[in-house]
Amino acid sequence: MIIPAFDLINGKAVRLYQGDYAYQKNYDINLYESLEKYASKGVKLVHIVDLDGAKNSNNRQLKLLKKILNHTTIPIQVGGGIRNQKDIDILFELGAKRVVIGSVAITNRKDVKKWLNIYGSDAIVLALDLKINYLGEKEICINGWQKQTNYLFEEIIEYFSFSQLKHVLCTDISKDGTLLGPNIKLYQEITTLFKNIEFQASGGVSVLQDIVDLKKTGIQHIIIGRSLLEKKITIEDALRCWQKE
Protein backbone atom coordinates (compact mmCIF):
# COMPACT_ATOMS: atom_id res chain seq x y z
CA MET A 1 0.00 0.00 0.00
CA ILE A 2 0.95 3.67 -0.25
CA ILE A 3 1.69 5.17 3.18
CA PRO A 4 1.85 8.99 3.35
CA ALA A 5 4.33 10.27 5.92
CA PHE A 6 4.58 13.33 8.13
CA ASP A 7 7.68 14.23 10.14
CA LEU A 8 6.85 16.65 12.95
CA ILE A 9 8.97 19.19 14.84
CA ASN A 10 7.28 21.50 17.31
CA GLY A 11 3.90 20.65 15.83
CA LYS A 12 4.89 21.51 12.26
CA ALA A 13 5.40 19.26 9.25
CA VAL A 14 9.05 19.22 8.16
CA ARG A 15 11.49 17.20 6.13
CA LEU A 16 15.13 16.63 6.92
CA TYR A 17 17.71 16.06 4.22
CA GLN A 18 19.28 12.64 4.87
CA GLY A 19 18.16 12.87 8.49
CA ASP A 20 20.20 15.99 9.25
CA TYR A 21 18.43 18.41 11.61
CA ALA A 22 20.63 21.22 10.24
CA TYR A 23 18.92 20.81 6.87
CA GLN A 24 15.29 21.20 7.85
CA LYS A 25 12.58 22.29 5.44
CA ASN A 26 9.27 23.47 6.86
CA TYR A 27 5.89 22.99 5.16
CA ASP A 28 2.94 25.29 5.60
CA ILE A 29 0.21 22.68 5.60
CA ASN A 30 -2.85 21.96 7.68
CA LEU A 31 -2.12 18.48 8.96
CA TYR A 32 -5.72 17.77 9.91
CA GLU A 33 -7.06 18.80 6.51
CA SER A 34 -4.42 16.61 4.87
CA LEU A 35 -5.52 13.63 6.96
CA GLU A 36 -9.17 14.26 6.08
CA LYS A 37 -8.26 14.34 2.40
CA TYR A 38 -6.27 11.12 2.69
CA ALA A 39 -9.18 9.43 4.45
CA SER A 40 -11.56 10.48 1.68
CA LYS A 41 -9.20 9.07 -0.96
CA GLY A 42 -8.96 5.67 0.73
CA VAL A 43 -5.53 5.84 2.38
CA LYS A 44 -5.28 2.87 4.73
CA LEU A 45 -2.29 3.87 6.89
CA VAL A 46 -0.31 7.01 7.70
CA HIS A 47 3.23 7.15 9.07
CA ILE A 48 4.08 9.86 11.62
CA VAL A 49 7.49 10.54 13.12
CA ASP A 50 7.91 12.71 16.19
CA LEU A 51 11.32 14.19 15.40
CA ASP A 52 11.41 16.11 18.68
CA GLY A 53 11.01 12.80 20.48
CA ALA A 54 13.56 11.10 18.24
CA LYS A 55 16.12 13.74 19.17
CA ASN A 56 15.22 13.81 22.86
CA SER A 57 12.91 11.15 24.29
CA ASN A 58 11.97 13.55 27.11
CA ASN A 59 10.60 16.01 24.58
CA ARG A 60 7.99 13.85 22.86
CA GLN A 61 4.97 15.63 21.32
CA LEU A 62 2.37 13.52 23.14
CA LYS A 63 -0.35 16.19 23.29
CA LEU A 64 -0.06 16.74 19.55
CA LEU A 65 -0.07 13.01 18.83
CA LYS A 66 -3.18 12.57 20.97
CA LYS A 67 -4.93 15.35 19.04
CA ILE A 68 -3.96 13.83 15.69
CA LEU A 69 -4.98 10.31 16.65
CA ASN A 70 -8.33 11.53 17.97
CA HIS A 71 -8.95 13.55 14.82
CA THR A 72 -8.54 10.99 12.08
CA THR A 73 -10.12 7.64 11.29
CA ILE A 74 -7.04 6.48 9.36
CA PRO A 75 -4.88 3.99 11.28
CA ILE A 76 -1.55 5.61 12.14
CA GLN A 77 1.84 4.14 12.90
CA VAL A 78 3.95 6.36 15.15
CA GLY A 79 7.70 6.52 15.70
CA GLY A 80 10.20 8.77 17.41
CA GLY A 81 11.75 8.51 20.84
CA ILE A 82 10.37 5.11 21.86
CA ARG A 83 12.80 3.71 24.42
CA ASN A 84 10.83 1.39 26.68
CA GLN A 85 7.59 -0.52 27.17
CA LYS A 86 5.94 2.44 28.89
CA ASP A 87 6.49 4.55 25.76
CA ILE A 88 4.81 1.87 23.67
CA ASP A 89 1.86 1.60 26.05
CA ILE A 90 1.34 5.37 26.00
CA LEU A 91 1.13 5.45 22.20
CA PHE A 92 -1.32 2.57 22.08
CA GLU A 93 -3.43 4.26 24.75
CA LEU A 94 -3.46 7.40 22.59
CA GLY A 95 -4.79 5.34 19.70
CA ALA A 96 -1.79 4.41 17.56
CA LYS A 97 -2.30 1.43 15.25
CA ARG A 98 1.38 0.49 15.31
CA VAL A 99 4.48 1.67 17.12
CA VAL A 100 7.70 2.11 15.18
CA ILE A 101 10.84 0.99 17.03
CA GLY A 102 14.13 2.44 15.83
CA SER A 103 17.46 2.68 17.62
CA VAL A 104 16.39 0.60 20.60
CA ALA A 105 16.01 -2.40 18.27
CA ILE A 106 19.81 -2.32 18.11
CA THR A 107 20.75 -1.09 21.58
CA ASN A 108 18.24 -3.19 23.52
CA ARG A 109 17.45 -6.14 21.30
CA LYS A 110 16.33 -8.50 24.06
CA ASP A 111 13.56 -6.17 25.20
CA VAL A 112 12.42 -5.53 21.63
CA LYS A 113 12.19 -9.27 21.05
CA LYS A 114 10.04 -9.46 24.19
CA TRP A 115 7.81 -6.60 22.99
CA LEU A 116 7.23 -8.34 19.67
CA ASN A 117 5.93 -11.34 21.54
CA ILE A 118 3.84 -9.25 23.97
CA TYR A 119 2.12 -6.98 21.43
CA GLY A 120 2.07 -9.26 18.40
CA SER A 121 3.33 -9.11 14.86
CA ASP A 122 0.93 -6.42 13.63
CA ALA A 123 1.60 -3.93 16.44
CA ILE A 124 5.34 -3.32 16.12
CA VAL A 125 7.34 -2.02 13.15
CA LEU A 126 11.13 -2.23 13.19
CA ALA A 127 12.66 0.82 11.52
CA LEU A 128 16.10 -0.11 10.22
CA ASP A 129 18.07 2.73 8.68
CA LEU A 130 21.16 1.86 6.72
CA LYS A 131 24.10 3.02 4.71
CA ILE A 132 25.58 0.92 1.93
CA ASN A 133 29.34 0.71 2.46
CA TYR A 134 32.04 0.32 -0.17
CA LEU A 135 31.69 -3.47 0.03
CA GLY A 136 27.97 -3.21 -0.68
CA GLU A 137 27.10 -4.19 2.90
CA LYS A 138 24.01 -2.75 4.56
CA GLU A 139 25.31 -1.09 7.76
CA ILE A 140 22.72 -0.10 10.37
CA CYS A 141 22.76 3.47 11.73
CA ILE A 142 20.99 4.67 14.89
CA ASN A 143 20.38 7.80 16.98
CA GLY A 144 18.83 9.83 14.21
CA TRP A 145 21.29 8.27 11.75
CA GLN A 146 24.20 9.98 13.50
CA LYS A 147 25.82 6.80 14.83
CA GLN A 148 27.00 3.94 12.67
CA THR A 149 26.87 0.50 14.29
CA ASN A 150 28.76 -2.71 13.63
CA TYR A 151 25.53 -4.50 12.76
CA LEU A 152 24.43 -5.45 9.28
CA PHE A 153 20.81 -5.38 8.17
CA GLU A 154 20.61 -9.11 7.50
CA GLU A 155 21.86 -10.17 10.93
CA ILE A 156 19.31 -7.96 12.69
CA ILE A 157 16.45 -9.45 10.68
CA GLU A 158 17.78 -12.93 11.44
CA TYR A 159 17.98 -12.12 15.14
CA PHE A 160 14.29 -11.21 15.29
CA SER A 161 13.13 -13.84 12.82
CA PHE A 162 12.08 -16.26 15.55
CA SER A 163 10.02 -13.57 17.27
CA GLN A 164 6.79 -12.23 15.83
CA LEU A 165 8.55 -9.94 13.39
CA LYS A 166 6.38 -9.03 10.42
CA HIS A 167 6.77 -5.32 9.60
CA VAL A 168 10.13 -3.72 8.79
CA LEU A 169 10.58 -0.14 7.60
CA CYS A 170 13.82 0.01 5.63
CA THR A 171 15.41 3.33 4.72
CA ASP A 172 18.52 3.94 2.67
CA ILE A 173 19.76 7.10 4.39
CA SER A 174 21.51 8.34 1.26
CA LYS A 175 18.13 8.53 -0.48
CA ASP A 176 15.92 9.99 2.25
CA GLY A 177 14.51 13.44 1.54
CA THR A 178 16.48 13.74 -1.69
CA LEU A 179 13.82 13.07 -4.37
CA LEU A 180 16.59 11.23 -6.24
CA GLY A 181 14.73 7.94 -6.60
CA PRO A 182 14.70 4.87 -4.33
CA ASN A 183 17.39 2.22 -4.03
CA ILE A 184 15.73 -0.42 -6.19
CA LYS A 185 18.62 -2.89 -5.86
CA LEU A 186 18.34 -2.79 -2.05
CA TYR A 187 14.65 -3.67 -2.03
CA GLN A 188 15.09 -6.40 -4.63
CA GLU A 189 17.71 -7.99 -2.38
CA ILE A 190 15.82 -7.85 0.91
CA THR A 191 12.47 -8.99 -0.48
CA THR A 192 14.24 -11.98 -2.04
CA LEU A 193 16.10 -12.82 1.19
CA PHE A 194 13.21 -12.40 3.63
CA LYS A 195 9.95 -13.48 2.04
CA ASN A 196 8.02 -13.57 5.34
CA ILE A 197 8.62 -9.89 6.12
CA GLU A 198 6.32 -7.09 4.95
CA PHE A 199 8.77 -4.36 4.07
CA GLN A 200 8.01 -0.65 3.96
CA ALA A 201 10.31 1.12 1.50
CA SER A 202 11.26 4.65 2.49
CA GLY A 203 13.39 7.28 0.81
CA GLY A 204 13.77 8.91 -2.59
CA VAL A 205 10.33 8.51 -4.19
CA SER A 206 9.72 11.49 -6.47
CA VAL A 207 7.83 10.29 -9.56
CA LEU A 208 5.16 7.68 -10.30
CA GLN A 209 7.70 5.46 -12.05
CA ASP A 210 9.42 5.02 -8.67
CA ILE A 211 6.23 3.41 -7.37
CA VAL A 212 6.09 1.10 -10.41
CA ASP A 213 9.74 0.11 -9.97
CA LEU A 214 9.39 -0.49 -6.23
CA LYS A 215 6.31 -2.65 -6.59
CA LYS A 216 8.16 -4.84 -9.08
CA THR A 217 10.76 -5.61 -6.38
CA GLY A 218 8.10 -7.31 -4.25
CA ILE A 219 7.89 -4.50 -1.70
CA GLN A 220 4.48 -4.53 0.00
CA HIS A 221 4.38 -0.90 1.17
CA ILE A 222 5.87 2.43 0.12
CA ILE A 223 6.25 5.39 2.45
CA ILE A 224 6.06 8.74 0.65
CA GLY A 225 6.81 12.03 2.37
CA ARG A 226 8.44 14.94 0.62
CA SER A 227 7.06 14.31 -2.88
CA LEU A 228 3.49 14.45 -1.55
CA LEU A 229 4.18 17.52 0.59
CA GLU A 230 5.69 19.32 -2.40
CA LYS A 231 3.02 18.03 -4.80
CA LYS A 232 5.56 16.31 -7.03
CA ILE A 233 2.94 13.58 -7.15
CA THR A 234 -0.63 13.52 -5.87
CA ILE A 235 -2.06 10.98 -3.47
CA GLU A 236 -4.72 10.13 -6.07
CA ASP A 237 -2.10 9.30 -8.71
CA ALA A 238 0.07 7.41 -6.22
CA LEU A 239 -2.83 5.20 -5.11
CA ARG A 240 -3.98 4.64 -8.69
CA CYS A 241 -0.45 3.73 -9.77
CA TRP A 242 -0.05 1.24 -6.93
CA GLN A 243 -3.40 -0.44 -7.64
CA LYS A 244 -2.76 -0.63 -11.38
CA GLU A 245 0.61 -2.35 -11.16
Catalytic residue among 50, 87, 129, 213: 129
- How far apart CA 241 and CA 234 sit, in angstroms, is 11
Quick check: is 176 catalytic? Answer: no
| Residue-level pLDDT at 79 | 94
Task: Kindly tell me if the per-residue pLDDT of 179 is higher than 90.
Answer: no
Domain boundaries, the chain: 2-244
Question: What does DSSP say about strands 12-17 and 20-27: parallel, antiparallel, or unpaired?
Answer: antiparallel
At position 120, the amino acid (one-letter code) is G
Q: Which of 1-15, 83-97, 173-187 has the lowest mean pLDDT?
A: 173-187
Catalytic residue among 7, 172, 176, 213: 7
- Of the pLDDT bands very low, low, confident and very high (cuts 50, 70, 90), residue 18 is low
Quick check: is 129 catalytic? Answer: yes
Q: Which CATH architecture group holds 2-244?
A: Alpha-Beta Barrel (3.20)
Q: pTM (2 decimals)?
A: 0.94
Task: Kindly tell me if the per-residue pLDDT of 22 is higher than 90.
Answer: no
Residue 173's closest CA among 20, 6, 24, 22?
A: 20
Helix (H) or strand (E) holding 67: helix 62-71
